A and B are shown apart, each in its own frame.
Chain A
Amino acid sequence: MAVPLETLVEEIYKMVVDLQGKKNVRAMSLTKAMIDKYGAGEVNKEDCKHAIRQLIDSGRCVYGYYGGESFITIPRKEEAASG
C-alpha cells in the first residue's frame, strides 16, 4: 500500500476533528474521503478499517450513537448532563 498507515490514521483523525459538531461522520464516509483523496490504487477499504480501529482502540476517537445511528467522533465529556 502506498499510503502508510500512520498517515491514514492522522488524516482520518484530522477529518473527524474538523467535522466535530458539524456533521456526524460514519466509517464509510471517512473511508470514501480517503479513497477520494489518495486514489483507489493507493488506499483501500481494509486500510481505512485498520486505521479507524487504531484510532478507536487508542481512545483518540470514540463511537457516538444517536437514535440508532452510529458515527465516529472525538471523546468529550458526558452527554446530556445539561438541559
Chain B
Amino acid sequence: MSEPAKRITDIGPPPYEKFLHPLIKKNYGKWLYHERPAPGVLCHISETGDKLYTVRAATPRLLSIQTIRMFADLADKYSGGYLRFTSRNNVEFLLDNPDNIEPLKKELLAAGFLVGGTNNSISNIVHTQGWIHCHSAATDASGIVKAVMDALHDHFTESKLPAKLRIALACCLNMCGAVHCSDIAILGVHRKPPKIKRDVLSKVCEIPTLISSCPTGAIRPATFEGKPSVEVIEEQCMYCANCYTVCPAMTLNDPDNDGLSIWVGGKVSNARSAPRFSKLAVPFLPNNPPRWPEVVDAVVNIVDVYARNARKFERMGEWIDRIGWPRFFELTGIEFTRYHIDDFKHAGTTFARSAHLKF
C-alpha cells in the first residue's frame, strides 16, 4: 500500500444538496404543477415562475463507465452538468434552457438511447442481475428485458396506452425489487429441488450450516458411502436456492426445467384502487435465449389485448377487475390451468366466494 491515507468509514452518501441544479435548489418545495410537452420531456413550473425541463432516456441499467462519461459530457453540454437517474433506471437531464431539449434528444438518439418513458407509456423494465451476476438465477434478466423492450419500444417513445404500464422482471423467487406488484411481472422459476452432488458434498460444505439454511426444513441429514451427507424432502422444497447459496454441491440450475412465468395486474400506486400483488397469468415458458420469443410474444399479447380493451386511466388490474378473470383468459387466449388456483397457505383468499359471475 502506498501512502497510508487515514482510513475513513461511516460517512454515508455525499450530501445530495451538492448535486442539485441551482434552479432546483432555488425552487425546492415550490413546484406548482408540471406539463408534458412531448414524450420523455417534462416541464415543472414553480411558484417563482421558473421552469425546469427534464429529458428522460432509457438505459439498459447495466452501464459501462464509457457510457456514464458520455452522459456526463452531455450533461455538461446541455444541462449545466446536472443529471439524475430514476427508480426505473432511466437517465434524466435537468435543463433550464428549453432550446437545449431538441439538440440533447438528437444526441441521445444518435447514441442509441431512446427518449420517452413519461405519462401513459411503458417505462423501463425494473430488473435483476440474472446470469450476469447472480448465483441463484433461473434465467437471465438483461437479455429478456432487451428482447421485450425491443418489441415494445414504441410504447416507451410514445404515450398511447390507457394508463401507465409497469413491467418488472426477477430471475428467481427472491424477487429483488418490487416485481410482485407490477402490471406485468416476468419471473424466473426453478421447478425441481436441488440435485445433490453427493461425491463432493462432504468436502465442500458444512453440513449443519447447510441443514439450517433451508427455510422450509426440507434438508435432513443422511449418510452417503459412510460419510455424512444430506437428503432433500422434495415435497417441502420451494426452490429458493438458499441451500445452493451455502453449498455449491446443491445444484439447482437446470436448463430444461428452469424457465419463466408471467404475472399480471399488480400495482404499487394508490391512485384509484389500492396497491395489490400481480396474479399468475402464464405458469411456465421455456428458457430460450438469446431472445426468448415465447416470453416476448406472451408479453406483447397481454399488452395488445389490454391496450385494445381497457378504458382511459384503467391500469391492467383495474381493467381485469371490470371485465373479470374469465374474460381476461378468453381475450388473451391464455389457458387457465390447475396452477392458477392457489394451494399455498391461506389459499382461499383468491377463491370466488359469491355467486357474482360474468358470462
Direct contact of A and B (CB under 8 A): yes
Chain A residues proximal to chain B, CB less than 8 Å: 21-24, 66-68, 80, 82-83
Q: Assuming A67-B245, A83-B248, is B204 touching A24 (CB within 8 A)?
A: no
B296 within 8 A of A: no
Residues of A within 8 A of B204 (CB): 82-83
Is B246 in the interface zone, CB < 8 Å from A? yes
Q: Taking chain A's interface residues, is the majority helix, strand, or loop, or is none over half, making it mixed?
A: loop
The answer to whether A83 and B249 have CB atoms under 8 Å apart is yes
Residue of A whose beta carbon sits closest to that of B240: A67
Contact residues of B: prevailing secondary structure: helix
A21 surroundings in chain B (CB, below 8 A): 206, 208-209
Q: Which of A22, A66, A83 contacts B213 (CB 8 A)?
A: A66
Q: Which 8 A-B pairs have the closest CB atoms?
A: A83-B248, A67-B245, A83-B204, A67-B242, A66-B246, A21-B206, A82-B204, A22-B208
Q: Say if the beta carbon of B203 comes within 8 Å of chain A.
A: yes
Known contacts A21-B206, A22-B208, A82-B203; A66/B245 CB under 8 A = yes
| Contact partners of A68 in chain B: CB under 8 A | 174
- Is the CB of B132 closer than 8 A to any CB of chain A? no
Q: Determine the residue in chain A with the shortest Cβ distance to B136.
A: A67
Q: Does B27 sit within 8 A of A, measured CB to CB?
A: no
Q: Which of B68-100 contact A (CB under 8 A)?
A: none
Taking CB atoms and an 8 Å cut-off, the chain B residues in 300-353 that contact chain A are none
Q: CA of A22 to CA of B207 in the docked complex: distance in angstroms?
A: 8
Q: How far is the CB of A62 from chain B (nearest CB, A)?
A: 15
For the complex, what is the distance from the CA of A82 to the CA of B204, rounded to whole Å?
7
